[in-house]
């Protein structure tokens, strides 16, 4: 699986043009926010990524498309499990400071010029 980093949709489309086939993981640069008053602040980060594969063209059966989504969802869970393992294995390092507040997983159809897969957004 190839991994690409991108800032916005235009950047994403440029990166994906170079990868016409195969699975990709597209990682968006994180967003940061600070809430609360000066003496009681909370810092949050939103991390987003996609696990996708180019849609097949021509006659595609529902079963084949379902298989694609199922396979890519399993890879998505593998990435999330790896991130959680890293956070729990390094209690004193950077990864150990990460607390997963919210994780949303959303299916994507025909996005970024013809890719299917899963979008993940995490608030940490």
**Closest among 81, 77, 122 to 102, alpha carbons compared:** 122
Strand order in the sheet with 23-37: 2-6, 23-37, 40-54, 115-123, 102-111
pLDDT at residue 96 tops 90:
no
Task: Please indicate, yes or no, whether the overall pTM of this predicted structure exceeds 0.95.
Answer: no
What rounded mean pLDDT belongs to the chain? 81
Tens of pLDDT, residue by residue over 9-55, are 787 888 788 766 789 998 888 787 877 787 777 777 788 899 999 88
What pLDDT is attached to residue 90? 64
What pLDDT is attached to residue 38? 78
Local structure of residue 96 (DSSP, 8 states): G
What pLDDT is attached to residue 97? 58
Calculate the dihedral angle through the C-alpha atoms of 83, 29, 7, 26, rounding to the nearest 10 degrees: -10
């Amino acid at each position: 699986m190839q991994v690409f980093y991108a800032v916005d949709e235009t950047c994403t489309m440029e990166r994906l043009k170079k990868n016409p086939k195969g699975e990709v993981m597209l990682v968006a640069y994180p967003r940061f926010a600070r809430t609360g008053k000066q003496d009681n602040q909370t810092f949050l980060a939103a991390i987003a990524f996609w696990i996708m594969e180019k849609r097949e063209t021509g006659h595609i059966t529902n079963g084949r498309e379902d298989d694609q989504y199922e396979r890519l969802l399993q890879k998505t869970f593998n990435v999330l499990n790896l991130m959680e393992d890293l956070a729990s294995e390094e209690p004193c390092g950077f990864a150990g400071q990460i607390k997963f507040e919210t994780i949303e997983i959303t299916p994507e159809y025909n996005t970024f010029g013809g890719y299917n897969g899963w979008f993940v957004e995490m608030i940490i």
